Amino acid sequence: MNYKGLPVYNISIDFDTDEGLQLVSLVDDPAVVESFLTFNSEEPVKLVFTSDEEQHIISGISLLADTPIYRCDETGGYYVVFTKETIKQLVEKYNKENKTNLTSLQHNGEIISDCVMVESYFIDKERGICPKEFSHCPDGSWITSYKVTNDELWNEIKTSGQLNGFSVEISCQLEPAKEDQKIYDEPLDEEDKFFENLMQWLQGEDFEKKNFSIDKGTIRKAIEDEKVILIDEGGSKTVEYYPHSLGKKGGKDAVILYNPDTNKWSVKTLREIDCVVSDTPIGEFIYTDPTYEEIMDDEDVVVTRTKGSTSYSDLIHNKVMTMISYNDEKEKPALGFRQCAVIAHGYTKAGNECIRVMEVFGDSRSARDGEGVIPDYRLLLTKRIKSLKPMIGTAPWSRDILDSRVNLTGDKSMFPCIDHITKEDLDK
Give the range with max mean pLDDT: 158-167, 288-297, 402-411: 402-411
Can you tell me the distance from the alpha carbon of 172 to that of 35, in angstroms, rounded to the nearest whole number? 9
Q: Across residues 369-390, what is the average pLDDT?
A: 81
Residue scoring higher pLDDT (206 or 93)? 93
Q: Each residue of 341-352: pLDDT tens digit?
A: 999 998 887 778
d(CA 38, CA 194): 28
User: pLDDT tens-digit profile of 226-238?
Assistant: 889 988 876 667 8
* 44, amino acid identity: P
Of residues 391 and 164, more confidently modeled? 391
Q: What pLDDT does residue 421 have?
A: 92
Q: Of 17-31, 82-96, 195-209, which gets the smallest average pLDDT? A: 195-209
Residue 49 has pLDDT above 80, yes or no: no
**In this predicted structure, what is the pLDDT of residue 193?**
53
Q: Is the pLDDT of residue 188 over 50?
A: no
Q: What mean pLDDT, rounded, does the chain reach?
A: 77
pLDDT for res 133: 75
Overall average pLDDT of the 314-343 stretch: 85
The CA–CA distances, whole Å, from 35 to 63, 69, 173 equal: 19, 18, 11
Report residue 161's pLDDT band, with 50, 70 and 90 as the boundaries. Answer: low
Answer with the residue of higher pLDDT: 23 or 401: 401
Confidence of residue 36 (pLDDT cuts 50, 70, 90): very low
Burial class for 163, CB neighbours closer than 10 Å (0-12, 13-18, 19+): buried
The predicted model gives 303-323 an average pLDDT of: 75
Nearest to 244 by CA among 263, 265, 230: 265
State the pLDDT confidence band at 72, using cuts at 50, 70 and 90.
low
- Distance from C-alpha of 338 to C-alpha of 333, rounded to nearest angstrom: 13
Give phi and psi for 93, each to the nearest 5.
-65, -40
| Residues 317-337, mean pLDDT to the nearest whole number | 82
pTM for this predicted structure: 0.44
Q: How confident is the model over 64-68, as a mean pLDDT? A: 86
Instruction: With beta carbons less than 8 A apart as the criterion, state whether 363 and 335 touch.
Output: yes
| Confidence (pLDDT) at 39 | 45
In contact, 387 and 325? CB cutoff 8 Å:
yes
How confident is the model at residue 50, as a pLDDT?
Answer: 47
- Give the burial class of 62: count Cβ atoms within 10 A of its Cβ; 0-12 exposed, 13-18 middle, 19 or more buried: buried
**Least confident piece of the model among 4-8, 62-66, 259-263:** 4-8
Q: Which residues pair with 2 in a beta bridge?
A: 7
State the pLDDT confidence band at 241, using cuts at 50, 70 and 90: very high
Comparing CA positions, the residue from 160, 140, 122 lying closest to residue 83 is 140
Q: Taking a C-beta distance cutoff of 8 angstroms, is the pair 68, 81 a contact?
A: yes
Query: Are the beta carbons of 10 and 175 closer than 8 angstroms?
Result: yes
